[in-house]
Amino acid sequence: MAEVFLGTIRGAEGFSRPVAIKRIQPAMSATPAFASMFVNEARLASLLHHPNVVGVLDFDRDEQGSFFLVMEL
């Protein structure tokens, strides 16, 4: 249903931070109900702040229109 990748956020002056990127598989992106659940997951997860819960750093669409979450690693 989703894939998780290792990524890196890069910023000014050599700043970098490892992150996890969760992306809906392309076949599932075409299903409106599943895409809606992923949006709700992102919305709810971004509200949670606890040491045992991974924080959401970003939520967007890629060039193909698939949603993805950028999370703490």
Band (pLDDT 50/70/90 cuts) for residue 7 is very high
More confidently predicted of 1 and 61: 61
3-state helix, strand, coil in the chain (%, to 5): 30, 40, 25
Q: How much is the pLDDT for 62?
A: 87
Average pLDDT, the chain: 90
Helix residue ranges, H only, the chain? 26-29, 32-47
pLDDT tens for each residue of 15-42: 999 999 999 887 887 788 888 888 898 9
Q: How much is the pLDDT for 63?
A: 87
pTM for the model stands at 0.84
d(CA 71, CA 54): 7
